[in-house]
Amino acid sequence: MSGIAMPQPDAGILARLPQIVAALRDVLPEDAVIWDPEETRAYECDALTAYRCPPLAVVLPRTTEEVAAAMRICHEMRVPVVPRGAGTSLAGGALPTADSVIIATLRLREVLEIDTQNRFIRVQTGVTNLSVSAELEPHGFFYAPDPSSQLACTIAGNIAMNSGGAHCLKYGVTTNNLMGATVVLPSGEVVELGGPEMGPTGLDLMGLLCGSEGQLGIVTEATLRILPRPEGARPVLIGFDGAEVAGECVARIIRSGVLPVAIEYMDDVCLRAVEAFAHAGYPDCAAVLIVEVEGSPAEIDHQIARIREIAGALNPVEFRESRNADEAMAIWKGRKSAFGAMGRLGDYICLDGTVPVGQLPYTLKMIGELSRQHGLEVANVFHAGDGNMHPLILFNANKPGDLERAEAFGNDILRLCVDVGGCLTGEHGVGIEKRDLMGKQYDGPDLEIQMAVKDVFDPRWLLNPAKVFPLDASQPWREEAATR
Amino acid sequence: MSGIAMPQPDAGILARLPQIVAALRDVLPEDAVIWDPEETRAYECDALTAYRCPPLAVVLPRTTEEVAAAMRICHEMRVPVVPRGAGTSLAGGALPTADSVIIATLRLREVLEIDTQNRFIRVQTGVTNLSVSAELEPHGFFYAPDPSSQLACTIAGNIAMNSGGAHCLKYGVTTNNLMGATVVLPSGEVVELGGPEMGPTGLDLMGLLCGSEGQLGIVTEATLRILPRPEGARPVLIGFDGAEVAGECVARIIRSGVLPVAIEYMDDVCLRAVEAFAHAGYPDCAAVLIVEVEGSPAEIDHQIARIREIAGALNPVEFRESRNADEAMAIWKGRKSAFGAMGRLGDYICLDGTVPVGQLPYTLKMIGELSRQHGLEVANVFHAGDGNMHPLILFNANKPGDLERAEAFGNDILRLCVDVGGCLTGEHGVGIEKRDLMGKQYDGPDLEIQMAVKDVFDPRWLLNPAKVFPLDASQPWREEAATR
């Protein structure tokens, strides 16, 4: 473990492992409870692999009722619960503590209902993001949020983290596409929020739950808004000889009223890595934008003409239009392999700060300066249209002190995002990674209110411990909760 | 007063009026506190005029600090506070109690910042909805939510009720367009939520606040997402000889993937009233849809062609395309005067249930049956694209028992909406009107959690009393709060 503190495991709980397992096995199928340390090790981390800790046990339910039964046992026995989807969190959102039981949604894999007339799909939340769209394809529909991890990540995790993706510029993030949720509360009670109609009545608990990072409950079933597939989509690639002018182009496109589905940004470090890895034929320049538009052929032509005009005024070094599906795929090929390509350069941390689009040029410049100060290379590849930056900080995990330097650099970048009017996270969540920066984002009563709301849902503070809220700020809440 | 109960005014508070007024005048400008019964009478109701009750006093602050000062006094002196925007609520959201002080946002009228690059406008929340778009017009931008009352209603009220409007089919309701909020909590503390960036960090308190009907705090400043004006927009009018086939046409358009900005529905009762009033030249048939699309001329042509094809398969009695701005205005003229036209037919209650779009035909048929059962006429004019129905129940306020019959009819319609998978309100809110139907919408722990969340923000339960939560269900919470 590195710089981020975790609470000491509760020795009392560790000693009660046999009773806890027995109680869980009493209410769950034989194969749904894992406690052999050889097997629980598979759950010791998520995609923030710098942090690892095997849990006490892992529960793999298949139904809402089984999730509720497991939650009830943990609540009664006062055992912390770490909810887990596919474990693709880049922020340590599913990192266990040694005294916790993981409740995973992986086996909740049924598609329950597809209703194209009312435009929704209802699924168990262990279904992966990509398979939701795959289910919809024969009907001519799709589900909009598309995180990079969409092949693996589950709807449960998407809801917990309010996930976005390249297409959220046009279609919004998970909260804009979630219509209803079946939620198991920490007590084991089950509550139905929302449904296939327009808005909530009274307080918007579903909106509150979306993005709550497993602090309030576990969503076992979800009703998701689906969209008809557009007639077509076409990307253009625009190369610039400077980061600032590329940032300016993004701001002008947004300002013009053209609403692309995606505006992706790659800087020179990323471009070189991608070229070496995927041979995508990208230009050798300071920054590349991929802008994708969709609609009917006429709409696409019209939008691309506008983008050509806007970009043209900024002297791009290249403006490459895709004329067919192969050329479109070639343009996307490099971007889609960017994270893999970066992995070949060494270890990296992937950040997730968000800034107002107009602040992109300044923020990119300052990240370059911070890179020089910290002596670590950084690559920028991100969803530029909504200002959601993903700086990748390169470091060497085998070099003592390098991870800590990378984390310090990352913290400086996130503070910068807040300083220019942005926030700590766009789509990855706070998790443990950004937990202790929450004080930078919030002053005044905001964080206290958030913790009081957590207290309403989870009065014993058992759900997803040591995440989201700074340990010191949440200490009094956890102490009080321990008396309940 | 009619069928809906309000709590007895607190005689102790009534007796302390002079001290309360003195304390408020101590911290506010001379002209900001009104307590003369002649003047407070102007605030005795909102647009649900069947219910009236003058407040104890009215506070008209000009700044966040003045709102905070007034809230602090009321909190310390344990005086209920009714927040009020322009008083256009159709659900009694701003109805005073006799022992309450109104804090109105009407004088918070400054436009603070327009940033077209980062696509936001920051305003004090007493600014009216329409004037926000008027401010943006010279910049080529607009603010999407457009409730029918947009000439009068304020942004504060829009946020409290999560208002929609005809354009929310494409652009979403207030919660989808609210980026940041300055909130005065019941204690008088001020908290800043969100800002001009993408998403919340930690729990989404801003989303929770939006649509909370003045139960959690008063929003004094707001950062709103703005959109570039489309190149053009054009409505078509489609007449059908049956309600069900018109409902079917709506469902097919939505399903097809064309995304109009608006799909409005008017039935025969409404059409006849509108013709008599506005002479809009609408066809004499069972139902009319107005479908508006926008974009470049090519996009508009393409979308209208698709709609013509879809509607054509359903044998419309008329398909009228607007070829220029005058014809467009003529198509909208009748719809925009519908509520005025209905007013000439007599008194009415305007409902606000929402149903899944696919349930529109069945729901319309059942409303007709309920109309015959209750012996009262009903007109349907509503935002069909998102299933947000506004049945207008006609009654005679001077006929004893008629209001009660209309309310009973309305309750049956709202129960029907819930039964077909919809909800009690699309954009008007719960207010007092639908308060006692909340038990129909919710069973299980949902409502209890909502009240516990209210408790976090407003531990003395002083904000907007007797709204949203059924009086009997909230009784224990209010009793507990009274001891704090």
Q: Which of residues 271-300 of A touch B (CB under 8 A)?
A: 295-296, 298-299
Alpha-carbon span A116 to A198, nearest angstrom: 16
- B216 with B237, same domain: the answer is no
Residue A3 lies in a domain: no
- Both structure tokens of A121: 């799909």
* A114 contacts chain B (CB < 8 A): no
- Whether A232 and chain B come into contact, CB under 8 Å, resolves to no
Chain-chain contact of A357 with B449 (C-beta, under 8 angstroms): no
DSSP at B8:
P
Q: Does A413 lie in the same domain as A453?
A: no
B158 and B172 Cβ atoms separated by less than 8 Å: no
Q: Is A454 on the interface with B (CB under 8 A)?
A: yes
CATH number, position B262: 3.30.70.2190
Return the pLDDT at B28. Answer: 98
Contacts of A358 in chain B (CB under 8 A): 115, 117-118
N-to-C CA span, chain A: 31
Flag if B425 and A199 touch (Cβ within 8 Å): yes
* Tokens, residue A296: 């009917």
pLDDT at B100 over 70: yes
Chain-centroid distance of CA A202 in Å reads: 28
Supply the pLDDT for residue A417.
92
**Does residue B20 share a domain with residue B82?**
yes
Last residue of a domain, one of B309, B339, B369: B339
CA distance B109 to chain A (A): 24
> Is residue B420 a part of any domain in this protein?
yes
- What does the pLDDT look like over A290-331, one tens digit per residue? 999 998 888 899 899 999 999 999 999 999 999 888 999 989
**CB B82 within 8 Å of CB B94:** yes
User: What value does the mean pLDDT take over residues B139-167?
Assistant: 93
Identity of the residue numbered A399:
K
pLDDT digits (tens, 9 = 90+) for B60-93: 999 999 999 999 999 999 999 999 999 999 999 9
pLDDT at B313 over 80: yes
- Write out chain B residues lying below 8 Å of A196, CB-based: 356, 421
Instruction: List the beta bridge partners of residue A124.
Output: A221
Reference B186, options B410, B467, B419, B464; nearest CA is: B464
* Residue B280 sits in the same domain as residue B259: yes
Is B1 within a domain? no
| pLDDT for the residue numbered B197 | 67
Q: Supply the pLDDT for residue A1.
A: 42
Q: Verify that B350 and B425 share a domain, yes or no.
A: yes
User: Are residues B221 and B252 part of one domain?
Assistant: no
> Do A307 and A221 share a structural domain?
no
- Total domains, chain B: 5
Q: How far is CA A239 from CA A249, A253, A312, A358, B18, in A?
A: 11, 15, 11, 19, 71
- Contact assignment for A357 to B193 by CB distance below 8 Å: no
Give the residue from B196, B228, B260 where a domain finishes.
B228
Q: Where are the alpha helices (DSSP H) in A337-383?
A: 338-345, 360-374
Whether B215 and A193 lie within 8 Å, measured CB to CB: no
Q: Which of A195-199, A332-336, A464-468 has the highest mean pLDDT?
A: A464-468
Whether residue B256 lies inside any domain: the answer is yes
Q: Are residues A82 and A120 in the same domain?
A: no
What are the angstrom distances between the C-alpha of B228 and each of A277, B116, B139? 40, 9, 8
**Contact check, Cβ <8 Å, B117/A255:** yes
Candidates A346, A417, A377; CA nearest to A268 is: A377
Q: Quick one: A271 and A293 in the same domain?
A: yes
Interchain CB contact of A184 with B (< 8 Å): no
Is residue A369, in this structure, part of any structural domain at all? Answer: yes
Burial A300-332 (b: 16+ CB within 10 A, else e): bebbbebbeebbeeeebeeebebeeeeebebbb
A316 touches chain B (CB under 8 A): no
Q: How far is A40 from chain B (nearest CA, A)?
A: 28
At residue B1 the predicted structure's pLDDT band, cuts being 50, 70 and 90, is very low
Closest approach of A39 to chain B, Cα-based (Å): 32
pLDDT at B26 over 60: yes
Distance (Å, whole) CA A252 – CA B370: 54
| Over residues B303-321, mean pLDDT | 96
In a domain, A1, yes or no: no
- What percent of chain B stands above pLDDT 70? 99
The reported pLDDT for the residue numbered B60 is 98
Residues B388 and B446 in one domain: no
Q: What is the average pLDDT across B122-145?
A: 96
* Least CB–CB distance from A302: residue in B192, B254, B299: B299
pLDDT mean across residues, chain A: 92
* pLDDT > 80? residue B200: no
A445 → closest Cβ in B164, B189, B452 = B189
Domain coverage including residue A350: 346-427
What local confidence, expressed as pLDDT, does residue B50 receive? Answer: 85
Closest in A204, A358, A449 to B117, CB measured: A358
In a domain, B71, yes or no: yes
Provide the pLDDT confidence category of residue B336 given band limits of 50, 70 and 90.
Answer: confident
CATH code at position A81 = 3.30.43.10
Question: What local confidence, expressed as pLDDT, does residue B436 receive?
Answer: 87
| A99 and A185 inside one domain | no
What does the pLDDT read at residue B245? Answer: 93
**Residue A141 is part of a domain; what is its CATH number?**
3.30.465.10
Chain B CB within 8 Å of residue A190 CB: yes
CATH value at residue A360? 3.30.70.2740
Q: Would you mind telling me the total number of residues written for chain A in this entry?
A: 484
The DSSP call for residue A9 is P
Indicate whether B206 and B120 sit together in one domain. yes
**pLDDT for the residue numbered A199:** 63
B160 in a structural domain: yes
pLDDT (average), residues A134-149? 93
Q: Which whole number is the average pLDDT over A212-230?
A: 95
Highest mean pLDDT, choosing among A428-432, B327-331, B455-459: B455-459
pLDDT-based confidence at A63, cuts 50/70/90? very high
Residue A196 pLDDT? 74
Domain boundary among B208, B228, B248: B228
As a whole-number percent, the residues of chain A with pLDDT over 90 amount to 71
pLDDT at B2: 56
Runs of H (alpha helix) within B287-378: 297-312, 325-336, 338-345, 360-374
Least confident of A16-25, A76-85, A137-146, A422-431: A422-431
Structure confidence by residue, pLDDT tens digits, A330-355 = 899 888 888 888 888 888 888 988 99
Q: How far is Cα A295 from Cα A310, in angstroms, rounded to an integer?
A: 20
